[in-house]
Amino acid sequence: MAEEINVEVTDNVGEWTKFLKKQYRREIAEISREYPHRRSLVIDYRKILNNRLAFELLRSPGKVIGDIRDAIVQNKLLKLKDGQEPDLLNIRFTNLPQKTSIRDIRADQINTLVSTEGIIRKTTEVRPRIVSAVFRCRSCNNLTDPIPQGYGRFDEPEFCPRCERKTRLDLVINRCRFVDAQKLRIQESPEGLRGGEQPQTLDIDVVDDLTGLVAPGDRVVVNGILRSVQRINYGQKSTLFDIYLEGNSIEVAEKEFEEVSITEEDEARIMALARDPMVYRKIVRSIAPTIYGSDDVKEAIALQLFGGIPKEMPDGSRLRGDIHVLLVGDPGIAKSQILRYVAKLSPRGIYASGKSSTSAGLTATAVKDEFGDGRWTLEAGALVLADMGVAAVDEMDKMAKEDRSALHEAMEQQSVSVAKAGITATLKCRCALLGAANPKLGRFDQFIPIAEQINMPPSLLSRFDLIFVMTDQPEAERDAAIAQHIIGTHAVGELIKQHEHEPLPGVDDEYIRRALEPVTPDIDPVLLRKYIAYAKRTCFPILSDGAKEALIGYYMRLRNLASGDKPVPVTARQLEALVRLAEASARMRLSNTIDTEDTDRILKIVDACLRQVAYD
Ligand code: ADP
Ligand code: MG
């Protein structure tokens, strides 16, 4: 008796029927009208109020999808026209409760519903895949029943099921069923990574109306069933398995900086900081605080992080708001260090090397490799992955020739076009580029004009808003300061820990304060990130009359000066750059107008940069 009471009698199909009738009547009616053009019922997980069903969905999604399908078919919820079968219907789920990051996916999640997020790194062409095959026997001429086909190997009968003879069977194409199939690879988004970790990836198999939805560079949440396939090593089955996600739904994240959440308390702190008369200096001092000096470079990077405002022209063209900065300098002058810091600080920041970046290079490429199982694959490079962020590209002087030409479009139009074989695509790369390069001869030669030592074509150079020349000249006072700074960064923390109770000679509070001061940023990086995101979301300053005059006046003077064949020609681009920089400067204090305080500041920087490269 007791046993019988414990047996739970559950009618899942009945429960799902109730749920669908209550929550999805309208959607199902719409699908009925538009079927098979529209054939996916998208169920919002948050609407499943029955805890047991919700739990079962996460644990055994395959079974639940079957139950829901049964509920729809048995109760004829889908009203189809004569002759139509409901077998094309897809059941999809969105807004799953918990996201697993790619690196945390584990064996116990196999065959469960998993939700993860990242950037689309690769997509293959969309090609048909057979899902059920019908064969004709060469001996008895009979047709087989449809044989379902899974992911991977093609399943062919070895003998005819009718005459049971071991003969050849031919595929009858017009009786087979196909779906559109595409393979994607997503990569962890950089903001989830702890410093310096390599992003991990996960492959996703999508079919039917999920194909062709996303492009490399898109930020997505992918929901799907985690599947495993056995590895084959040298023709032998291995005990190791690979995993992939059988895609169930894809949610595309559109907005920039939505990863950065800003609470009301944050907002109060942001407003307080904006009112601080020292805010500009504090921000600049909070960029790469472990690097001594290079204040002009840090100021430029601060401007870059805030960015100008992109503008739509009446003719449909677009002017970028992103500020591109190039650092050309002697080795060992902390260029790489600065780049890495910025990639970490910026939401959606990516660090890449021009020399050894992936096969996708800096922009994007189409390749035919084993990933696509014979299909062409489109792969995003650093600038596409950094869409809506900052791409920090080191060793730019060593990049491949193809990258160099693709960069022209990427930097100005902020898009990358790929047209190769079956793939034509235009990918977005709305990012600010922070580049670093060594001089032509490895280090600057003081007897050759600097402009001649920058190893990049003028057309590319003119796309940078600011170019800095960083030379490593021994200078006793500065060297001592750097030495103390580096030693301080390394040693002071340790010293304090070891000698809490017995002070070291010479290491007094003042020493520690001085040594630590430049290392601890004025603004905590977490707050700075939020401050930047807030400024980009809410602040769109416009030029005051005084600022307009200042910029135009400066530009006219530049044009007059720039006669002859200078390596960095002065064109209308420079005027656009001036406006962008001034906008960024106003944004740094959340001001709605650009004043002469902003133009004074940025003209000083621009002037210093041009003095080094353009008219020395
Ligand atoms: P680069 O990329 O310019 O060749 P790196 O970024 O690799 O140089 O820097 C070399 C090392 O020297 C780094 O560890 C960096 O921290 C240190 N370094 C160089 N200049 C400074 C400086 N001004 N302040 C602090 N550290 C510095
Ligand atoms: Mg370097």
The span from the CA of 40 to the CA of 90, in Å, is 4
Token pair of 561, please?
A: 């000066």
pLDDT digits (tens, 9 = 90+) for 199-224: 889 999 999 999 999 999 888 999 99
What pLDDT is stored for residue 272 in this prediction? Answer: 94
Q: How many CB atoms lie within 10 A of CB 330?
A: 16
Backbone angles phi, psi at 128, to 5 degrees: -70, 145
Q: Is the CB of 327 under 6 A from ligand 1?
A: no
Indicate the CATH number of 11-94 among 3.30.1640.10, 3.20.20.70, 2.130.10.10, 3.40.50.180. 3.30.1640.10
CA 552 / ligand 2 centre spacing (Å): 37
The span from the CA of 381 to the CA of 410, in Å, is 11
Tell me the ligand closest to 442's alpha carbon.
1
One-letter-per-residue 3-state SS of 456-481: CCHHHHCCCCEEEEECCCCCHHHHHH
Tell me the ligand closest to 397's alpha carbon.
2
Which long-range CB contacts under 8 A does 1-10 form with residues at least 24 apart?
10/52
Backbone angles phi, psi at 223, to 5 degrees: -115, 140
Delimiting residues of CATH 3.40.50.300 domain(s) in the chain? 264-348+431-613
Dihedral angle of Cα 527, 531, 533, 537, to the nearest 10 degrees: 150
Q: How many CB atoms lie within 10 A of CB 27?
A: 15
- Backbone dihedral region for residue 373 (phi beyond 0: left; psi -120 to 50: alpha; all else: beta): left
pLDDT digits (tens, 9 = 90+) for 180-199: 999 999 998 766 665 556 78
Residues at Cβ < 5 Å from ligand 2 ion: 336
pTM of the model: 0.80
pLDDT digits (tens, 9 = 90+) for 17-35: 999 999 999 999 999 998 8
From the CA of 330, give the closest atom in ligand 1.
3
Predicted ipTM of the assembly:
0.97
pLDDT of residue 120 exceeding 60: yes
Q: Is the CB of 484 under 6 A from ligand 1?
A: no
From the CA of 337, give the closest atom in ligand 1.
6
pLDDT of residue 304 exceeding 90: yes
What pLDDT is stored for residue 616 in this prediction? Answer: 44
One-letter-per-residue 3-state SS of 57-104: HHHCHHHHHHHHHHHHHHCCCCCCCCCCCHHHCEEEEECCCCCCCHHH
Structure-token match 């390596």, residue found: 567
Q: Is the CB of 335 under 6 A from ligand 1?
A: yes
Delimiting residues of CATH 3.30.1640.10 domain(s) in the chain? 11-94
Indicate the CATH number of 264-348+431-613 among 1.10.10.10, 3.30.2270.10, 3.40.50.2300, 3.40.50.300. 3.40.50.300
Q: Is the CB of 75 under 6 A from ligand 1?
A: no
Q: Is the CB of 503 under 6 A from ligand 1?
A: no
Q: Is the CB of 442 under 6 A from ligand 1?
A: no
Structure-token match 């609407």, residue found: 47
Minimum CA distance residue for ligand 1 atom 15: 334
The span from the CA of 486 to the CA of 478, in Å, is 12
Q: Which among 287, 301, 327, 333 is the best mutation to test ligand 1's pocket, defined by most ligand atoms within 8 Å of the CB?
A: 333
Report the range of poorest mean pLDDT among 146-150, 511-515, 561-565. Answer: 511-515
Q: Using 50, 70 and 90 to split pLDDT, how confident is the model at 1?
A: very low
Biggest CA pair distance of the chain:
101
102-134+176-253 belongs to which CATH class?
mainly beta
pLDDT digits (tens, 9 = 90+) for 402-445: 788 888 889 988 988 888 777 788 888 999 999 999 998 888 88
pLDDT of residue 524 exceeding 70: yes
Tell me the ligand closest to 328's alpha carbon.
1
Residue type, 60: S
| DSSP state, residue 374 | T
Mean residue pLDDT across the chain: 85
What pLDDT is stored for residue 2 in this prediction? Answer: 44
Q: Is the CB of 482 under 6 A from ligand 1?
A: yes
Burial-class residue 170 by CB neighbours within 10 Å (0-12, 13-18, 19+). Answer: exposed
ω into 541 cis (within 30 of 0): no
CB 595 within 8 A of CB 601: no
Delimiting residues of CATH 2.40.50.140 domain(s) in the chain? 102-134+176-253
Mark 100-118 as b/e (b = at least 16 C-beta within 10 Å): bebeebeeebebebbbbbb
pLDDT digits (tens, 9 = 90+) for 44-60: 999 998 889 999 999 99
Structure-token match 């076009």, residue found: 417
CA 612 / ligand 1 centre spacing (Å): 22
CB 594 within 8 A of CB 309: no
CA 262 / ligand 1 centre spacing (Å): 33
Of residues 255 and 402, more confidently modeled: 402
Whole-Å CA distances, 213 to 105, 137, 184, 210: 24, 39, 11, 6
Q: Is the CB of 396 under 6 A from ligand 1?
A: no
